[in-house]
Amino acid sequence: MGKDEINSSALVPIVIPSYEPDDRLITLLHAFDEKGMGPVIIVNDGSSEKYDDIFKEAESIITKRGGKFISYRPNRGKGRALKTAFSYISENMPDAIGCVTADSDGQHSPDCITTIINTLKEHPDNLILGVRQFKKEDIPWKSWFGNTLTVKVFAYVSGMKVSDTQSGLRGIPYKFIRELIDCKGERFEYETQMLLECAGRYELTEVPIETIYDSKESHQTHFDPFKDSIRIYKILGKKFVKFIFASLSSFVIDILLFHLFVFLLKDSFAAIYITLATVGARVISAVYNYLINYKFVFKSKASKGTSLTKYALLAIIQMCLSAGIVTAFVMIFPGSWETLVKVITDTILFLISYSVQQRFVFSSKSKTNS
């Protein structure tokens, strides 16, 4: 049996977390049934009793094709619903190559879902992301505002450019499914955490999909642009705080050593004492910083030899820039306090360094486009 034949027959369940759905869920399931798509796993995430009839009808549709309906109360959030489905797949569908997650509110058409399924079959080790084409005039402001801001913050913090961080249409490899069961996050922030877990470990394949809304006024979303954005930024902030801690401790070591070396070398090496002090302090602090970033901050899976080489190159470039800028400033403005100038210079270089380390030093995977 050839690779194409294996992929075409591969098992890819469709996961639909659902909270207080309307008839669009039933319409979507009928479309699946007509196209022979499935099996479908629906998780009723604590909807009130008045939605029981919709879920009963949904269950009757999906069970005909080997689907599974899971229900619990109270509402626990989209992240918990996804993890519940992932646990079911891990325990009951060992032959699956992965799954595709989709929303129940009609935003994802059967054709788009099929495209994600086929892309996952072609790239079973990649995270497949269905990305919407955002235009402010065409979509509800909640979705536009939440995604536009988060995309920019996420790109800096994660080092991975993602066009649509809040898209619920995703193809997830089986290995990643098992890892995501214990991933932090219970509500909408879970999908952001998923992308952070992917960064530097799995390749990301983006697939353009339709942007479907009934209208700006009538479309309903359970995403709260304020509360849920705060949850998302907390997750992003935690990773950056780790980097700040690692960098700050390295920074303190570097500055103290620089100050000490300036004191020891200024009289003996008047022409190059700043360069010598910078090199000595940076070599010691850089070794410490590399080790803590590799293990604690980025939890890198990249080759230690490759990442160390890249890190050393980055450290040398930073060191040269720091020494050159501080020296030039002191020469232009005689009497300047070298240590203060270095603090300001290295703060700017620190912000640049974070992005470079995320994207190039500790990353072992890259994004591909379909």
* 362: nearest Cα among 294, 291, 287: 294
Q: Where are the domains of the chain?
A: 3-225, 239-369
CA distance 315 to 289: 10
Are 105 and 19 in contact by the 8 Å Cβ rule? The answer is: no
- Both tokens of 83, joined, read 């993890």
> What is the reported pLDDT for 366?
45
Helix pair angle (227-265, 141-158), 10° resolution: 30
Tokens 């009808």 sit on residue: 57
Are 57 and 88 in contact by the 8 Å Cβ rule? The answer is: no
Q: What is the CA 58 to chain-centroid distance, rounded?
A: 32
- Both tokens of 64, joined, read 């005909």
Strands 204-209 and 367-369, by their bridges, are parallel
Q: What is the mean pLDDT of each run of 10 residues along the chain (370 residues)?
A: 57 95 93 92 95 95 93 93 97 95 88 95 95 66 65 76 85 96 85 85 89 52 56 69 84 90 87 88 85 81 84 88 91 87 88 82 60
CA distance 126 to 120: 7
> What is the reported pLDDT for 293?
85
> What is the reported pLDDT for 367?
46
> What is the reported pLDDT for 26?
95
The CATH number of the structural domain formed by 3-225 is: 3.90.550.10
Are 50 and 22 in contact by the 8 Å Cβ rule? The answer is: no
> What is the reported pLDDT for 224?
53
Strands 14-18 and 170-173, by their bridges, are unpaired
Query: Mapped to the 3 state alphabet, what secondary structure does the chain carry?
Result: CCHHHHHHCCECCEEEEECCCCHHHHHHHHHHHHHCCCCEEEEEECCCHHHHHHHHHHHHHHHHHCCEEEEECCCCCHHHHHHHHHHHHHHHCCCECEEEECCCCCCCCHHHHHHHHHHHHHCCCCEEEEEECCCHHHCCHHHHHHHHHHHHHHHHHHCCCCCCCCCCCEEEEHHHHHHHCCCCCCCCHHHHHHHHHHCCCCCEEEEEECCCCCCCCCCCCCCCCCHHHHHHHHHHHHHHHHHHHHHHHHHHHHHHHHHHHHHHHCCCCCCCHHHHHHHHHHHHHHHHHHHHHHHHHCCCCCCHHHHHHHHHHHHHHHHHHHHHHHHHHHHHCCCCCHHHHHHHHHHHHHHHHHHHHHHHHCCCCCEEEC
Strands 127-132 and 98-101, by their bridges, are unpaired
Are 104 and 27 in contact by the 8 Å Cβ rule? The answer is: no
Are 354 and 243 in contact by the 8 Å Cβ rule? The answer is: yes
